[in-house]
């Protein structure tokens, strides 16, 4: 099934929503809006329910995941929910010793750097993440016609955490492996592609209406390296979920030079950060794909007038695109005023009402 055919399962209810229509590049009543990291520390109600519960534990508690996922939908009236989880959850689920350290990010106890280390990356089964299936079942019941976006980390970004052992500015160990042992690197990314594809399938089969592949840190690569060393694995992930016919979104930060290739990897919607205006991004991506983005998340710390002026710029650059999903150019920053987000959703909806 292609992304333009009607599905038959859970996803039927959300099929005609503005978000799904924009992903399919169909006319919409208003430009749909959601925010990467819309659930999380910017919301007092999130801080309250998470109190005393470590991040990764919270991802395995279906009732809590349901509540946290719904919080930004209730508060901001966004056009889509994003499943509350983290990109390292499938790795934890197959037994990798890792933790999410507050204010730091994912930390891996024993980094993966040798052929022997690869054996620790076993296949992911639906039973490994049964709590995801349970939570999505609850969520789709509550969400009705509002689509739920499932997500996963892309092979490169997952590899960067596994090889570095934690967050990294320069990705030196990752690049050392990629250039120094191309075969081991290719095998590592291929294993991660299988795990990622299995994780996305669980989410779609449980009822997610769309999926986003986060390749957050791939902007660290030049296009030739991306094409040779990363694109085959990302393409394998997109290929693996193609038959479901749900929109596939692909996002990374600082990926201006990679936008065309990231679309080519198999995305239906290409996410753009704030560094490239959407009309220029559309030229780089080429026809046949929708775009998502791209207000600088730091703009939300400015005055309402400034937020609106910068939003007008985004909407003007997107006005001739057949499919535009409004979003930030990266995740909501933790100290963002939640009211500024609510106002932004309303502003985009009113400005684009047709």
Binding residue ranges for substrate:
37-41, 86, 161, 216, 330
Q: What is the full DSSP assignment across 50-79?
A: HTT--HHHHHT-HHHHHHHHHHHHHHH--S
CB of 240 to ligand CP3, least distance (A): 20
Q: Which residue out of 37, 120, 228, 275 is catalytically annotated? A: 37
Assign 291 to helix, strand or coil: strand
**Contact string (CB under 6 A) for ligand CP3, positions 188-227, x = contact:** --------------------------x-x-----------
In the list 3, 20, 28, 36, the residue contacting ligand CP3 (rule: CB under 6 A) is 36
Contacting ligand CP3 (CB under 6 A), which of 84, 185, 244, 274?
A: 84
Q: Is 52 in the site for ligand CP3 (CB under 6 A)?
A: no
Phi and psi based region of residue 36 (left: phi greater than 0; alpha: psi -120 to 50; beta: remaining): beta
Q: Is 50 in the active site? A: yes
Burial pattern 54-73, b for ≥16 Cβ within 10 A else e, equals ebbebbbbbebbbbbbbbbb
Asked whether position 274 contacts ligand CP3 by CB under 6 A, the answer is: no
Q: Could you give phi then psi for residue 98, rounded to 5 degrees?
A: -145, 165
102 makes contact with ligand CP3 (CB under 6 A): yes
331 binds ligand CP3 (CB under 6 A): yes
- Binding of ligand CP3 at residue 327 (CB under 6 A)? no
Establish if 147 lies at the interface with ligand CP3 (CB under 6 A): no
Query: Quick one: 321 or 328, whose CB is closer to ligand CP3?
Result: 328
41 flagged as catalytic: yes
Measured CA to CA, the distance from residue 54 to residue 56 in angstroms comes to 6
Total residues interacting with ligand CP3, rule: CB under 6 A: 21
Alpha helix (H) ranges present in the chain? Answer: 18-23, 44-50, 55-59, 62-76, 89-93, 115-118, 130-143, 155-164, 172-180, 182-206, 223-229, 231-241, 259-264, 278-285, 304-317, 338-352
Catalytic pick from 50, 120, 275, 343? 50
Task: Give bridge partners of residue 292 from the DSSP assignment.
Answer: 271, 325
Q: Which of 32, 106, 271, 323 binds ligand CP3 (CB under 6 A)?
A: 106
Binding site for ligand CP3 (CB under 6 A): 36-41, 55, 82, 84, 86-87, 100, 102-106, 151, 214, 216, 331
Q: Which residues are catalytic?
A: 37, 41, 50, 86, 161
């Amino acid at each position: 099934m292609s992304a333009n055919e009607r599905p038959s399962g859970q996803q039927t209810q959300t099929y005609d929503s503005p978000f799904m229509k924009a992903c399919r590049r169909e006319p919409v009543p208003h430009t749909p809006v959601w925010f990467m990291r819309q659930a999380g520390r910017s919301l007092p109600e999130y801080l309250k329910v998470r109190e005393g519960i470590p991040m990764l534990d919270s991802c395995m508690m279906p009732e809590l995941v349901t509540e946290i996922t719904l919080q930004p939908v209730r508060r901001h009236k966004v056009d889509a929910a994003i499943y509350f989880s983290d990109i390292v959850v499938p790795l934890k689920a197959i037994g990798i010793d890792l933790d999410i350290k507050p204010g730091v990010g994912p930390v891996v106890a024993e980094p993966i750097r040798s052929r022997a280390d690869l054996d620790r990356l076993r296949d992911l089964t639906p039973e490994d993440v049964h709590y995801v299936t349970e939570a999505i079942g609850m969520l789709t019941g509550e969400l009705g016609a509002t689509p739920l976006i499932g997500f996963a980390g892309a092979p490169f970004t997952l590899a960067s955490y596994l090889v570095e052992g934690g967050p990294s500015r320069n990705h030196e160990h990752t690049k050392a492996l990629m250039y120094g042992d191309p075969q081991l690197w290719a095998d590592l990314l291929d294993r991660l592609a299988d795990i990622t594809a299995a994780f996305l399938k669980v989410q779609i089969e449980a009822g997610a209406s769309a999926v986003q592949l986060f390749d957050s840190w791939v902007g660290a690569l030049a296009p030739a390296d991306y094409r040779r060393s990363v694109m085959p694995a990302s393409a394998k992930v997109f290929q693996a979920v193609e038959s479901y016919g749900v929109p596939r979104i692909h996002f990374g930060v600082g990926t201006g030079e990679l936008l065309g290739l990231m679309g080519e990897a198999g995305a239906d919607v290409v996410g753009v950060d704030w560094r490239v205006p959407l009309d220029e991004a559309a030229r780089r991506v080429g026809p046949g794909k929708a775009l998502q983005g791209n207000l600088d998340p730091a703009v939300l710390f400015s005055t309402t007038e400034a937020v609106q002026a910068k939003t007008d710029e985004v909407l003007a650059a997107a006005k001739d695109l057949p499919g535009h999903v409004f979003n930030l150019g990266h995740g909501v920053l933790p100290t963002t005023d939640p009211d500024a987000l609510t106002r932004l959703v309303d502003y985009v909806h009113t400005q684009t009402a047709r």
